[in-house]
Amino acid sequence: MNKKPIILIGGGGHCKSMIEVIESAGKFQIKGIVDVAEKVGESILGYPIIGTDGEISSYVDGEMNFHITVGQINNASLRIKLHQKVKAAGGLLPVVSASTSMISKHATVEEGTAVMHQVVINAGVGVGACSILNTGCLVEHDAQVGDFTHVSTKSVLNGNVTVGDRCFVGSGAILSNGVIIPSDTLIAAGSTVYKSLKLPGTYIGFPLRKIK
């Protein structure tokens, strides 16, 4: 199988996880990583840091793919900025999924989204652009996930859940059937959400309470 070339943007811990995801699926060949200038010339898991995000346009050739490997918890602004840079340069932003993930043929996942190991995306689901579905999370039937949203490890979005744009759902959080999470909301790890939330903010616990 001919592997498509891809450049990763961001060289932190999430980058390491995504390298493993990409290697597992065998669809892309990593050509290098872009990061801050002082790291150029270093390598991550054997892949060189070849430049900075200011040079993204120089790598665009009509065939080059890009994937944003900057993580996201409190704020999606950097991922949004990098996404805009790639789009403005005309780069391609494919969905990147692990070999062990399961994406229903009746689901829709938009450009630039990461679907990591053992993720299940069931029928009728819609996932927006440049989101992260992290290891072992479950997105059940007809749930909707917005753009630039991170659904973290082992979290559960039950049927008909709606999570807005630029959200973070922490590890092990459970969202009950049909709840609505507004954009720009952070749900802390281990929290349980039984009722829809009316206002954005930071929520934690069981019972759930707003702390910010």
Contact 150, 167 (CB under 8 A): yes
**What is the average pLDDT value for the chain, to the nearest integer?**
96
84 residue type, one letter: Q
Residue 79 phi/psi, 5-degree rounding, is -65, -40
Instruction: Indicate if 135 and 196 belong to the same structural domain.
Output: yes
Coil/strand/helix, residue 84: helix
Coil/strand/helix, residue 201: coil
Q: Which domain holds residue 145?
A: 95-205
User: What pLDDT score was predicted for residue 103?
Assistant: 98
pLDDT tens column, 166-211: 999 999 999 999 999 999 999 999 999 999 999 999 999 989 999 9
Is the pLDDT reported for residue 75 higher than 70?
A: yes
Coil/strand/helix, residue 38: helix
Is the pLDDT reported for residue 1 higher than 80?
A: no
pLDDT tens column, 128-142: 999 999 999 999 999
- Across the range 66-93, mean pLDDT stands at 95
209 by Cβ neighbours in 10 Å (0-12 / 13-18 / 19+) ranks as exposed
Instruction: Indicate if 116 and 184 belong to the same structural domain.
Output: yes
CA distance 94 to 110: 8
Q: How far is CA 26 from the centre of its chain?
A: 19
pLDDT tens column, 8-49: 999 999 999 999 999 999 999 999 999 999 999 999 999 999
Is the pLDDT reported for residue 155 higher than 80?
A: yes
Is the pLDDT reported for residue 121 higher than 80?
A: yes
Instruction: Indicate if 9 and 60 belong to the same structural domain.
Output: yes
Residue 211 lies in a domain: no
Q: Give the single-character DSSP code of 92.
A: B
